[in-house]
Amino acid sequence: MRKPKPLAVRKASLGDAISEAFSEFTSLAEEMRAWEENIQEKFSETGKYADVSDAADALEALDGVVDEGAIHEKLTSVEVEWQDMPQRKRGYSRADRCSHACMILDQCVFALDEITESKEMESDAEIIDAAETLKDEIQQARDDAEAITFPGMFG
């Protein structure tokens, strides 16, 4: 039996990590909207259509929740680490991809928590406030994304 390869640890700046997570949400929103358009003609009165539409709406609502351009310059050097999902031949479900993006946001929150709890930063109220505000925005977006229900292809 072959041993699975260890998952590589990814490192990125806080802004890049946030961007990666929200890029996945955008990609998922586009997929759900395309699916909605494909089934609209025949299934617009069904629960499946409503579920697909609701998921697309919820994903699109995440766009712009966190203003990546407004990240305080002293927070741009914060590094975030996470593990990517292992490669698979069939790829991952939409729900798995959304969960992975949420996990990246969890790591961003963790990194911001370290800043707000750091003894070195306690004298810099501006940074603490910026980190707290950003952390709250990320947490809200993460919670909203985690609540999205992705309908299955069949059923």
Task: Supply the pLDDT for residue 72.
Answer: 85
**Alpha-carbon dihedral 92, 98, 101, 106, rounded to 10 degrees:** -130
Average pLDDT taken over every residue of the chain: 90
Residue 155: pLDDT over 60: no
Long-range contacts of 114-123 (CB under 8 A, 24+ apart): 115/75, 115/78
pLDDT at 34 over 80: yes
pLDDT digits (tens, 9 = 90+) for 131-154: 999 999 999 999 999 999 999 876
Query: Of 45-49, 104-108, 117-121, which one has max mean pLDDT?
Result: 104-108
The answer for residues whose C-beta is within 8 angstroms of residue 10's C-beta and 6 or more apart is 81, 82, 83, 84
Interval 59-106: pLDDT, tens = 999 998 888 777 888 888 899 999 998 888 888 999 999 999 999 999
What is the pTM assigned to this prediction? 0.89
